[in-house]
């Protein structure tokens, strides 16, 4: 497990990597049911006709993954974001159950704001790792990946714990177009952030 903190931006969290061995069931089976659909986020996505920020089509993801090792880089929210998310989520649900829809909508805005923080931290971590490169994915550095990111509000055991599964199709890793500093990471170079 690797802990990443980008202190210049105030973004923290834990990032861990596992290898997918369940044909993506842990994310695909939950998308469109109890969690949201995935979002294309990798820097290499446009080269494969995938629009960054668009919803992931699960069939397309599975087709891209055929014959490739699949990495799951899970970004887990730090305790302060988890706490803030849990409080806003519970309050919104209570307001809906009390038929106070106006208050509930305001509270859902708070939940969305917390997720905005989570996505910013997750994306900064992905950007940093692509700039640094992972030799297991490809010997070229810096790298661009095809990534499908899936936000989850709870752990597999139902415990409120915001996290993002970043599914990387490693065989589609390409060399980055420009060598230089990580964009959007407060002017720090990747060599300054990871040892």
- State residue 194's pLDDT score: 34
And the tokens for 58?
């699960």
What local confidence, expressed as pLDDT, does residue 91 receive?
92
Q: Which two tokens stand for residue 89?
A: 């989520």
pLDDT for the residue numbered 178: 53
List, for residues 9-18, the tens digit of each pLDDT value: 566 788 889 8
Task: Please tell me the predicted confidence (pLDDT) of residue 104.
Answer: 92
Q: What is the pLDDT, as a whole number, of residue 84?
A: 87
Structure tokens at 113: 């704001």
Q: Where are the beta strands (DSSP E) in 62-107?
A: 70-76
CA-wise closest residue to 164 among 45, 61, 27: 27
Query: What confidence score (pLDDT) does residue 181 get?
Result: 39
Residue 159: the pLDDT is 65
Q: What is the pLDDT of residue 142?
A: 93
**DSSP label at residue 170:** G
Least confident span in 62-66, 81-85, 107-111: 81-85
What percent of the chain stands above pLDDT 90?
40
| ∠ CA 45-50-53, rounded to 5° | 85
Strand-strand pairing, 174-175 and 2-3? unpaired
Q: What is the mean predicted confidence (pLDDT) over 110-114?
A: 87
Q: What is the pLDDT of residues 24-34, one digit of tens each?
A: 988 887 776 66
Residue matched to tokens 């990534």: 147
- Per-residue pLDDT, averaged over 117-145, amounts to 89
Distance CA 95, CA 124 (A): 33
- C-alpha 164/C-alpha 150 separation (Å) is 5
More confident residue, 140 or 156: 140
> What does the pLDDT look like over 153-192, one tens digit per residue?
766 666 667 889 999 999 999 998 754 434 443 333 333 3
pLDDT at 128: 87
């Amino acid at each position: 497990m690797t802990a990443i903190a980008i202190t210049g931006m105030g973004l923290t969290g834990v990032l861990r990597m596992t290898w997918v061995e369940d044909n993506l069931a842990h994310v695909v089976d939950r998308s469109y049911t109890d969690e949201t659909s995935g979002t294309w986020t990798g820097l290499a996505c446009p080269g494969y006709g995938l629009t960054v920020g668009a919803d992931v089509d699960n069939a397309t993801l599975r087709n891209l993954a055929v014959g490739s090792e699949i990495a799951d880089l899970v970004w887990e929210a730090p305790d302060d974001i988890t706490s803030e998310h849990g409080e806003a989520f519970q309050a919104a649900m209570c307001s809906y159950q009390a038929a106070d829809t106006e208050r509930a909508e305001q509270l859902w805005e708070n939940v969305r704001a917390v997720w905005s923080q989570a996505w910013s931290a997750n994306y900064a971590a992905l950007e940093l790792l692509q700039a640094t490169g992972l030799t297991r994915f490809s010997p070229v550095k810096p790298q661009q990946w095809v990534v499908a990111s899936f936000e989850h509000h709870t752990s597999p055991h139902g415990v409120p714990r915001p996290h993002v599964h970043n599914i990387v199709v490693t065989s589609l890793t390409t060399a980055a177009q420009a060598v230089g500093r990580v964009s959007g990471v407060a002017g720090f170079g990747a060599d300054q952030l990871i040892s």
